[in-house]
Structure 1
Amino acid sequence: MSSMHAITVVRPIAVLPSMLVSTDVPETDYAEWASGTTYAKDDRVILAAQHKVYQSLADSNTGNNPAAVAIPPKWIEVGPTNRWKPFDKSVSSQVVQADAISYRIKPGQAVTSLGVLNIRGGVSLRARVIDPTHGTVYDKTVALSRSPIAPGWWAWFFGERRAPTQVLLQDLPSYPGADILIDITGTVELAVGVILIGQQRQFSMGVRMGARVGIQDYSRKERNEFGDVMLVERAFARRASFSMLLTAAEVDAFNQFLTDVRATPCLWIGSSRYESTTVYGFYKNFDIVISYFNYSDCELELEGLT
């Protein structure tokens, strides 16, 4: 077989606070900042209105709003609250909640794709689309059960098992006024890195065999003065390189699409068969070679978010 299926690209819709109808994840990471409270250095607070966590940079920190600009700065932004971590531009930052995580989102426009990435401790995921007029128009449950990483009876009974870390649903019906409900069940270690919704587009006649996948590791690996290796685990980013064949009619459209999303993280799906060909990030570069009258060759290099 010379190629996999066409590359699928989902340009995500930014999930705004006004779109979040409900969730069972509380926003109680830390206490809400209070103007009359004195904070010590390294104390943390949240601003629920901004859905962010801040850390104090000084002792005797009183009356300094974390969102205000101060010289020298009194606070530093740590990141989103636990509730909003699935919607930041990071794969490694995860919303963490034991046993169950639920979100109900009203995007206000038609959505055809849902991606849930970097799942840890998941058991099942249920996705529903509920329209105010037509009711439930989509209801699918995906099992996240662990399966052997190798074939054979010994591997089935005794070998290592691996659970899926992502769910990609690309068949959501187009109902612009509908709510999207995501219910994830799992263990006490349940966590989710990304919840992404948007409309998918497909390009090329197929991603050719020979696609390259890998990661960029940002962990520190250094030797001390005695020669011992010191390892500090940090985040990593996925990488992929695809070679595709475009029809003549796709060349300008794909070139324009890549120009439009040059600074926008997207979900790139090279093949539904391999999780490693799914990259949430941006393209580093691309080249389209108009090789033939009806067809053109394209090389696309992707780099994921950490």
Structure 2
Amino acid sequence: MSQMKVVPGIEITPAKMIVNALPDADYAAWSAATTYAIGDFVTIDRINYQALVAHNNRNPVTDMVSPPAWQNLGWINKYRMFNKAIGNTWKIGTFTAAQNVIDFTIRPGQRINAIGLVGVYASSVRIVMTVPGVTDPVYDKTFAMSSKAGGSWYQYFFGQFTTKDNLAEFDLPPYNNADIRVIVSATGSTARVGMMIIGWAKNIGTAVYGTSLGRKKYSTIKEEFDGSITITKRGRRRSIDFQVELTGDQISSTQRILDDVDDVPSLFVGASNLAYTIIIGIYDDFDTGLPTYNRGQYTLKTRSLM
């Protein structure tokens, strides 16, 4: 059993992104002087668009003609790990990616004590926290995200890697003026992060046995008259139904905490040492009964926004 935690995410704006080598545009900027063909891409204000019709002088942001000339594809690669929203729609199956390393520094401008990354494809993640006037980092830890199976020389050289996709840490010193550098390394490969959240962790009980994991895929399979099948590959979404215990006097405060994160992308963690109990998303249902002998239980149904 472990402390169940939730971390409401802090919005990561360009002003808070102090250092990031990834480009501010994935495609060329839109121009009124350019004639666009179907399938062309442009970037405006860190949002990508794709042309749906051949046209010119139809601005992706302001054009209201129907049928539309552009499709909003969502945030550029640089910010995709912090925001996947297209209006009220959150896209699944998207991530921030870079060859070898994703390296950036954020200045939250407020106290935080927690960080979570999900959908990580990397060999390691390093988190470094610095504050003005202090020579050495106040926090500097590296976390292995993959390791070789041991036991024999054959396993070491030819065995399958053991990997974890998610990371959550709750021991960041709560400075209000800190910079947080995150280095996601995948030497010789592509580093990827599905989503990342920083914020202040709140305890909402104790996660217990009975917690269940789920995954739903959205690919479609169509069977033809001759028995052949057509597979249209789409994204997939993880879910966790947490079983949580708490004392009777925690029920009201837990309800208030969950009210505050209603429909807000947040980090939910059953146990930080069990990567598969870490999820960034929203909760659907909160069901609890009356406490008995000052002990209560509830089920928290969560699903990923990744």
Q: Same fold judged by TM-score > 0.5?
A: yes
- 1:209 is displaced (CA, Å) by 1.0
Aligned-residue sequence identity (percent) comes to: 28
Q: Which amino acid aligns with 1:67?
A: V
Q: How large is the Cα RMSD of the aligned pairs?
A: 1.9
5+ residue gaps, structure 2, are 85-90
How does 1:35-184 map onto structure 2 within 5 Å?
Answer: 35-47=32-44, 50-59=45-54, 61-72=55-66, 73-89=68-84, 92-120=93-121, 122-135=122-135, 136-148=137-149, 153=152, 158-184=158-184
CA offsets 1:170-218 (integer angstroms, 9 cap, x no match): 11111111111111221332222112111111121x2221211111111
Match of 1:209 in 2: 209
Per the alignment, do residues 162 and 106 of structure 1 end up closer, same or farther by CA in structure 2, a change over 3 Å counting? Answer: same
Match of 2:294 in 1: 294
- 1:24 is displaced (CA, Å) by 1.2
Match of 2:22 in 1: 25
Mapped to 2, the partners of 1:247 and 1:173 lie a distance apart of 28
Per the alignment, do residues 293 and 145 of structure 1 end up closer, same or farther by CA in structure 2, a change over 3 Å counting? Answer: closer
For residue 263 of structure 1, give the secondary structure of its aligned residue in structure 2.
coil
C-alpha contact 2:25 2:46 (8 A) present in aligned 1: no
CA offsets 1:26-68 (integer angstroms, 9 cap, x no match): 1342111112111112211001xx2110111221x22222111
- 1:276 is displaced (CA, Å) by 1.9
For residue 258 of structure 2, give the secondary structure of its aligned residue in structure 1.
helix
Mapped to 1, the partners of 2:118 and 2:141 lie a distance apart of 17
How does 1:237-256 map onto structure 2 within 5 Å?
Answer: 237-256=237-256
Mapped to 1, the partners of 2:253 and 2:212 lie a distance apart of 24
- 1:250 is displaced (CA, Å) by 0.7
Mapped to 1, the partners of 2:126 and 2:256 lie a distance apart of 35
CA offsets 1:63-88 (integer angstroms, 9 cap, x no match): 22211141222222111111111111
- 1:16 is displaced (CA, Å) by 0.9
Mapped to 2, the partners of 1:185 and 1:243 lie a distance apart of 34
Q: How many residues align?
A: 296
CA offsets 1:237-263 (integer angstroms, 9 cap, x no match): 111112222112210011111122111
For residue 58 of structure 1, give the secondary structure of its aligned residue in structure 2.
coil
Q: When the two structures are superposed, what TM-score results if normalisation uses the length of structure 2?
A: 0.90
Q: When the two structures are superposed, what TM-score results if normalisation uses the length of structure 1?
A: 0.90
5+ residue gaps, structure 1, are none
Mapped to 1, the partners of 2:296 and 2:221 lie a distance apart of 42
For residue 168 of structure 1, give the secondary structure of its aligned residue in structure 2.
strand
C-alpha contact 2:167 2:272 (8 A) present in aligned 1: no
C-alpha contact 1:52 1:81 (8 A) present in aligned 2: yes
C-alpha contact 1:91 1:194 (8 A) present in aligned 2: no
